Amino acid sequence: MPEEDTGIRRADSLRRENMQTPSPNAYKVGVPPKQKLFDEFTSTVKETLFSDDPLRNFKDQPRSRKVVIWLQSIFPILSWGKDYNLSKFKGDLIAGLTIASLCIPQDIGYAKLANLTPQYGLYTSFVPPLIYAFMGSSRDIAIGPVAVVSLLLGTLVQNEVDPVKEPVTYRRLVFTATFFAGITQLGFVIDFLSHATVIGFMAGAAITIALQQLKNFLGIKNFTKKTDIISVMKSVWKPVHHGWNWETILIGASFLAFLLVAKYIGKKNKKLFWVPAVAPIISVIVSTFFVYITRADKKGVSIVKHIEKGVNPSSVHEIFFTGSFLAKGFRIGAVSAMIALTEAIAIARTFAAMKDYQIDGNKEMIALGTMNVVGSMSSCYIATGSFSRSAVNFMAGCNTAVSNIVMSFVVLLTLEVITPLFKYTPNAVISSIIISAVIGLIDIDAMKLIWKIDKLDFIACMGAFFGVVFVSVEIGLLIAVSISFAKILLQVTRPKTALLGKIPGTNVYRNVLQYPEATKESGILIIRVDSAIYFSNSNYIKERILRWLSDEEEYARDTHQRPTRYLIVEMSPVTNIDTSGIHALAELHLSLQKREVQLVLANPGSAVIDKLNASGFSQQIGEDKIFLTVADAVMTFSPRFELEQP
């Protein structure tokens, strides 16, 4: 048996738990075998960047096979394409047509949120979904422009360039930002946003977007460029007596009612999911026809007027690769990329879990990044996964990313043939479509659940929400990211410690606050430290442990009990320690020595025991003071056993 060879003392300790023969000789804490410095380094880098071993599939394969595997890993279509058949295509065709009918009116509206003319929304529904279909690993996501990213991008770029006065520079900066959004997405490593802040941010953005639609919905001419609720409300009320256009309101309100009823029907009966999916395009057709025959546009109903016909022109030369707009584009791109990526990966994961297939976060990032880089060169702005269209795609029975290809071709046809027909489409209807789409982003149930689960998360959620609604999208985002990280830092700098007691009748020691029936041992204080010990918390942990000891000593004095003689630190949750942490432990040891209390450690993990040995701290407190479990340590030092033993 291996443990004989490694000279581990354990015989007595083991017998104790099995045969009820208590003994102070405990099972020794294991020290993992030493790794070479280089191996340790490469394995750390690999674990940091990938949750799965990226080279796993390449193991023991001939070279030609490796090339195939490599190509398949970049273009997943090469692996699932082999099994593609007609019955799968049927599902994808229906789903593709459904999401196309939904995306066309949405695209026109979202392009306006980004202060672009309508065709750019359609362009963005053509190239990126095609590329994603070849490279992405989600089978259900519907790619294209989305409301929140359009608004965010529009707001950020508008802060730098006026979209009305300098439309060309504005558009060039949009492409630059899109390019860098793609580049950033290729290299993202960590998740920046918590679920709670995303819920808050999305709800805030939905309200902001809906408020923006009041311009077209009420037919107001002079509308504020700010997005906060107070400025918007001022813009809305000021022209109430002479600036609202009642024909526009009538059209907008009737179609909004129609869309909401369709939405309600789809919600009540899952089989009728196609009703809300086709309602927008029906609204567009009906309202366009209505305006055309009544010429309502002459009565002040604003219409789309003109959409450029034809496929995406190249925009390679429009991207700023030099000058001050380079840095601005990079910053705007990186911020928007964060939201776009979070949204896409959340969608991909949700549907993957429902159909039980795996989403590889790294591959998704490459797919999304590439599609935006290519998009930026073909007149697209930032595309990502759309919540509403992905849900429709899923319910319409899509089987693979081919539904995106179908959608993409329908958009191509639209661009080539039918754009002139949108001339008389009233903007109020486009606004109604956007309002009915973004309402779904306000997830009251999720907010209630967050409140129930975690109050701090709820504060983060509300911070993001009110930041977006009352100040601006950027500030809301900034609040969201700051609160998210502050929470992590708080946890790391001020970790919990717990007093442990023995659960009656077991060998198990647990938090006495969680298990009030757990009993303390006389003369032994057991403290669990609930965090890795780092420079940021090492002094806090040391002082907190000394405070537990002072409390205990005070209590023992008041109740005339034995003074504490052993302080056992349960290290199970201490996953790592740095040099500052070891210093703090050494100072703790010194303080305890002065008080005639012995420091004892229980169950240090492999990284910790390694460093305790390397620093000589194990020798300093005595290696016989380090135990596998709290029970072993108590068994060794408990006065009961001292008395019982010969």
192-231 positions binding a copy of itself, by CB under 8 A:
192-196
- The single residue among 7, 62, 420, 505 that binds a copy of itself, judged by CB under 8 A, is 505
- The single residue among 215, 263, 510, 625 that binds a copy of itself, judged by CB under 8 A, is 510
Q: Between 31 and 311, name the residue whose CB sits nearer to a copy of itself.
A: 31
Residue 478 binds to a copy of itself (criterion: CB under 8 A): no
Residues 589-618 touching a copy of itself, rule: CB under 8 A, are 590-591, 594-595, 603, 605-607, 609, 611, 614-615
**Nearest approach, Cβ of residue 266 and a copy of itself (Å):** 24
Query: Which region among 111-119, 152-160, 374-382, 510-518 touches a copy of itself (by CB under 8 A)?
Result: 510-518
Residues 6 or more apart from 49 whose CB is under 8 A from it? 189, 362
**Nearest approach, Cβ of residue 529 and a copy of itself (Å):** 10
Secondary structure letter of residue 513 according to DSSP = T
- The single residue among 58, 493, 622, 640 that binds a copy of itself, judged by CB under 8 A, is 493
Residues 312-331 touching a copy of itself, rule: CB under 8 A, are none
**Nearest approach, Cβ of residue 364 and a copy of itself (Å):** 11
Query: Which region among 83-91, 201-209, 237-245, 351-359 touches a copy of itself (by CB under 8 A)?
Result: 351-359
Cα(444)–Cα(384) distance, rounded to whole angstroms? Answer: 24
Cα(568)–Cα(634) distance, rounded to whole angstroms? Answer: 8
Residue 563 binds to a copy of itself (criterion: CB under 8 A): no
Residue 620 binds to a copy of itself (criterion: CB under 8 A): no
Cα(151)–Cα(473) distance, rounded to whole angstroms? Answer: 8
* Contact predicate 401/133, CB 8 Å: yes
Q: Between 96 and 605, name the residue whose CB sits nearer to a copy of itself.
A: 605
Cα(175)–Cα(537) distance, rounded to whole angstroms? Answer: 45
How many residues belong to the site for a copy of itself (CB under 8 A)? 108
Cα(338)–Cα(195) distance, rounded to whole angstroms? Answer: 13
Residue 280 to residues 125, 283, 342, 534, Cα–Cα distance (Å): 16, 5, 27, 56
- The single residue among 530, 598, 620, 641 that binds a copy of itself, judged by CB under 8 A, is 530
Q: Between 251 and 527, name the residue whose CB sits nearer to a copy of itself.
A: 527
Secondary structure letter of residue 426 according to DSSP = B
- Where helices occur in 27-85 by DSSP H, the ranges are 37-49, 63-74, 77-80
Q: Which two tokens stand for residue 543?
A: 């002082």
Secondary structure letter of residue 84 according to DSSP = -
Cα(32)–Cα(607) distance, rounded to whole angstroms? Answer: 8
Q: Between 211 and 368, name the residue whose CB sits nearer to a copy of itself.
A: 368
Residue 641 binds to a copy of itself (criterion: CB under 8 A): no
**Nearest approach, Cβ of residue 245 and a copy of itself (Å):** 44
In angstroms, how far is CA 75 from the centroid of its own chain?
A: 24
Burial label for 297, CB within 10 Å (0-12, 13-18, 19+), is middle
**Nearest approach, Cβ of residue 45 and a copy of itself (Å):** 10
Residues 6 or more apart from 337 whose CB is under 8 A from it? 180, 181, 182, 184, 185, 188, 372, 382
Query: Which region among 93-101, 168-176, 428-436, 579-587 touches a copy of itself (by CB under 8 A)?
Result: 579-587
- The single residue among 65, 221, 306, 496 that binds a copy of itself, judged by CB under 8 A, is 496
**Nearest approach, Cβ of residue 444 and a copy of itself (Å):** 15
* Contact predicate 281/425, CB 8 Å: no
DSSP letters of 163-214?
A: TTT-HHHHHHHHHHHHHHHHHHHHH--S----HHHHHHHHHHHHHHHHHHHH
Residue 506 binds to a copy of itself (criterion: CB under 8 A): yes
**Nearest approach, Cβ of residue 60 and a copy of itself (Å):** 12
Residues 154-193 touching a copy of itself, rule: CB under 8 A, are 189-193
The single-letter code of the amino acid at 52 is D
Residue 517 binds to a copy of itself (criterion: CB under 8 A): yes
Residue 442 binds to a copy of itself (criterion: CB under 8 A): no
- Binding mask 9-48 vs a copy of itself (x if CB under 8 A, - otherwise)? -x--xxx-xx--------x--xxxx---x--xx-----xx
For the beta sheet containing 626-627, the strands, ordered from the edge strand earlier in sequence to the opposite edge, are 509-511, 497-502, 524-529, 566-570, 598-602, 626-627
Q: Between 204 and 266, name the residue whose CB sits nearer to a copy of itself.
A: 204
- The single residue among 534, 549, 569, 601 that binds a copy of itself, judged by CB under 8 A, is 534
Residue 278 to residues 99, 389, 400, Cα–Cα distance (Å): 9, 11, 21
**Nearest approach, Cβ of residue 366 and a copy of itself (Å):** 16
**Nearest approach, Cβ of residue 136 and a copy of itself (Å):** 17
Residue 61 binds to a copy of itself (criterion: CB under 8 A): no
- The single residue among 55, 240, 261, 353 that binds a copy of itself, judged by CB under 8 A, is 353
Residue 59 binds to a copy of itself (criterion: CB under 8 A): no
Q: Between 189 and 293, name the residue whose CB sits nearer to a copy of itself.
A: 189
Q: Between 506 and 619, name the residue whose CB sits nearer to a copy of itself.
A: 506
For 401-431, b where at least 16 C-beta lie within 10 A, e where not — what string? bbbbbbbbbbbbebbeeebeebebbbbbbbb
- The single residue among 221, 238, 299, 547 that binds a copy of itself, judged by CB under 8 A, is 547
Enumerate the β-bridge partners of residue 526.
568
Beta-carbon count within 10 A of 40 CB: 11
Residue 555 binds to a copy of itself (criterion: CB under 8 A): no
